[in-house]
Structure 1
Amino acid sequence: MNNHVAVIAVLAFTSALNQTSAVVADSSHLTPELLYREGDKLLADAADGQLDDFSLFDAAVIASGVPDAEEVATCRARFRLFRDSVREEMTAESSVRHRAEKIFRRMHQELLTGQYRPSCTELHLTLDGGHYNCVTATILYRCLCAEFSIPVTTIAETGHVYALLVGDSPVVIQTTSADGFTASDAIDGGRRITDVQLLAKIYYNRGVSLLEKRRFRDALDLLEIGHRLDRQDAIAWKNVLACMNNWALSECDAGRFQHAAELLSRGLDMAPDYRPFLDNELHVYHRWVSRLCAGVRFEEALDILESGYGRRPEAPLFDQGRPAVYRAWRDSLLASGRTVEAAAVFARAQKHFPQRTRSW
């Protein structure tokens, strides 16, 4: 039976799955209480699609995996120090576009001093090392412009986000390029996204980074948060499903068939027509039943096939597999000379499958 591994569509602002250069925040030293305290507050605030209790900057730092309020405050202080230095150069008579460009130039000269790295999606790491991707660069620029009441919004395309200076003559700002402010004066395709939807990209990218490391449980948590914060992102949803599917296959390969089946069952509740779930449920059950039969645990194998038949009676594995297990059970008993027990198993099979047992 061919197992179907879902292909994971990774946005361009993440590292590809066959690469190993993803930068992931080290949270191994944090207790669970610290790890989730600020994050839970943020998600509660973002649940209605907007931020009321958190600034975009603080929210982005927390979403990046910095859960302790003191650490967030340290990042905030660094941001404000830079903001204040920019403020000293601002003049009231300058145009909005001039001020927006001034902020952009300073940001690249003093904050984004490292390299563009698709996997560098954690804001605090950008502040620490200067490396960035389109998400962290756009968030920093959005936050700085907000401090000076400059109307900038965020545009999302497949695999990319960038900024847009709003006004009579909108300006597209490719935040990852030092020359990005003059890249185009025309509005490209894409959708305008909210601050909460922009935060979703951080969770999504962190989830993909963990998926590269096969840390499926943690990856799924982050991918689901990303989807919850931006339900219009179709690729994020596909990756939630792909993560569940690939986790189930990993569990199956490890012989943890029940958990694999539970993951696929949960997935089918979420996406009943998702082909990898449908195919791999049969793959998992086939291997599970085969393992049980090899261990002479025929009764358990029958119970599992019956449960599958109740959900998918049209599947040959569940339909034809049940009499096949009865026959294997009977033959096993006959081979060991246990004829009375073999006859009892055959009688059970005849009761449930009178037509199919005639040729036995």
Structure 2
Amino acid sequence: MGKKRKRFTRANSQRAHLRNSPENQIPAGGGMLRIWKESDRVLWMLILLYLAIMTIASLPALRQAAAASRPANLLDMAWAAEGNLSETNQATAQQRLTEHLTWMEDNLPRQWGRYSLEERAAWVFQAMHDRLLNGQYDEDQNALSIALIEGNYNCVSATILYQILTDRAGLPTVAMQTRGHVWCRLLSRPELDIETTCATWFLLEPHDQSQSPAIQAAGEAQTLSARGLAAKIPYNQASLDAAKGDYPAAIRHLDFALSLDPQDSAAMRNRSAILNNWAVACIAEKDCQTALDILKRMEDQRLHDPDLEVNRRKIVDAVIDQWCRQGRYSQSLRLLQEQSDQSPSRHSVRSIYQQWIEDAANRGDWYEAKNALRLAISAHQEDPLTVAQLRRKYRQLSSS
């Protein structure tokens, strides 16, 4: 210890000597050089001060930009996907998850690295069901927060939770999907599909496992990204809202799902179907304007579906029926002429004009009837037969 202290003292003395050596002293008669160095020092101090001020001022923006560029993990996206999750419930669920992750780290079996991937996946799976998902299977329970707080789950919430846990355990897994169902796949050799909602999955015989939706899906199964998996939360909520007739809420949830996973073709199809059902409901309530606004939103989506095209035409026909009963013939004609010819309508320009003429005649308004005939002749000037039939119909009405 003494020798080290002696060397340290000698080094200090050498540095002191160098600091006071003639090479570091300003020579006599160098007044201009002293003035130049002093001014240069002040200039650099001002520059450094300016840079420090600008850096401090930009820190919030830099932090915001860094947060925006940082990819969100599955847990963050799951919280966001719940939409109306309160801070209290999120904190409670987060605490429950943190406690379980700590428990996992403290209770990993000895020689964990010597376990096969399937054995490790089974251990994480069983711990999840024993300690977290100890409630009931609920087909409508998509929220990760409820799964953690109450223990109730469905395929979406259970798969999200298992993905988070296997990721922490260093296991290579990926979410899988087929129509109406999601599960987890362990990327082992061979790959292993895991039904996250079946608490006894790893205890089942291969024959029993083969009856599950995951195994039955076979080649139809598709991988699901973290964004796509989180998007299933609002996607499923939209279905629940639509079943209750709350179409505006359903569309909001589907729009949110598509913002998370814009390539989700199922969400796009469901959006069109729900818009269609919403428009039909508006027709039943005689709210034609809202129905037409909804049809415009369907057109903006530009999703070709033959069944929806047929329904769309029926909705347009229903609007025309209602408008004709209200005497809104001009609007009915414009609406009909705006439609494409992809599916036939039971209305035609001629039929609407004829109904207009008959209605005006029945009301005794011959001026309107004659004006409707004149417009009909103009619209069918290249169809002499139709013009002749309309003229005959007008004469019959006026002579009766």
Bin of the TM-score, shorter chain as denominator length: 0.7 to 0.9
One of 151, 175, 179 as aligned partner of 2:200: 179
CA distance in 2, matches of 1:213, 1:75: 28
**Change in CA separation of 1:162 and 1:352 when aligned onto 2, cut-off 3 Å:** closer
Does residue 1:65 correspond to 2:93, yes or no? no
Does residue 1:126 correspond to 2:147, yes or no? yes
- Structure 1: which amino acid aligns with 2:91? A
Deviates more, 1:303-312 or 1:67-76: 67-76
Does residue 1:256 correspond to 2:287, yes or no? yes
Q: Which runs of 5+ in 1 are unaligned?
A: 1-40, 46-50
The number of equivalent residue pairs is 307
Does residue 1:308 correspond to 2:341, yes or no? no
**Change in CA separation of 1:256 and 1:138 when aligned onto 2, cut-off 3 Å:** same
**Change in CA separation of 1:181 and 1:301 when aligned onto 2, cut-off 3 Å:** farther
The root-mean-square deviation of aligned C-alpha atoms, in Å, is: 2.9
Give the CA deviation at 1:92: 5.7
Instruction: Kindly indicate whether structure 1 or structure 2 has the higher relative contact order, using CA contacts under 8 Å at least 6 residues apart.
Output: 1
Task: Please tell me whether the aligned partners of residues 273 and 308 of structure 2 are also in contact (alpha carbons under 8 angstroms).
Answer: no
- The residue number in structure 2 matching 1:359 is 392
- Structure 2: which amino acid aligns with 1:304? S
Give the CA deviation at 1:175: 0.9
- Structure 2: which amino acid aligns with 1:255? K
Task: Please tell me whether the aligned partners of residues 306 and 322 of structure 1 are also in contact (alpha carbons under 8 angstroms).
Answer: no
Task: Please tell me whether the aligned partners of residues 329 and 356 of structure 2 are also in contact (alpha carbons under 8 angstroms).
Answer: no
Does residue 1:349 correspond to 2:342, yes or no? no
Deviates more, 1:320-329 or 1:77-86: 320-329
CA distance in 2, matches of 1:284, 1:155: 37
**Change in CA separation of 1:233 and 1:273 when aligned onto 2, cut-off 3 Å:** closer
TM-score (norm 2): 0.68
- The residue number in structure 2 matching 1:217 is 248
**Change in CA separation of 1:129 and 1:84 when aligned onto 2, cut-off 3 Å:** same
Alignment of 1:1-360 (within 5 A): 52-69=70-87, 71-91=89-109, 93-94=111-112, 95=115, 96-183=117-204, 188=215, 189=218, 190-230=221-261, 233-271=264-302, 273-295=304-326, 297=327, 300-312=328-340, 315-334=345-364, 338-353=365-380, 355=387, 356-360=389-393
Give the CA deviation at 1:341: 4.4
CA distance in 1, matches of 2:81, 2:303: 31
- Percent identity reads 24
Give the CA deviation at 1:163: 1.4
**Does the residue aligned with 2:319 lie in a helix, a strand or coil?**
helix
Give the CA deviation at 1:75: 1.9
CA distance in 1, matches of 2:197, 2:254: 24
CA distance in 2, matches of 1:342, 1:191: 62
**Does the residue aligned with 2:174 lie in a helix, a strand or coil?**
strand
CA distance in 2, matches of 1:311, 1:161: 39
CA distance in 2, matches of 1:324, 1:80: 73
**Change in CA separation of 1:59 and 1:70 when aligned onto 2, cut-off 3 Å:** farther
CA distance in 1, matches of 2:351, 2:377: 15
* Cα deviation code 1:168-195 (max 9, x no counterpart): 3433221111121355599942222211
CA distance in 2, matches of 1:277, 1:317: 19
Give the CA deviation at 1:89: 0.8
Give the CA deviation at 1:222: 1.5
CA distance in 2, matches of 1:129, 1:74: 11
Q: Which runs of 5+ in 2 are unaligned?
A: 1-63, 382-386, 394-400
- Structure number with greater Rg is 2
Task: Please tell me whether the aligned partners of residues 138 and 154 of structure 2 are also in contact (alpha carbons under 8 angstroms).
Answer: yes
CA distance in 1, matches of 2:299, 2:373: 35
* Cα deviation code 1:307-330 (max 9, x no counterpart): 321333664514333322431343
Give the CA deviation at 1:152: 1.7
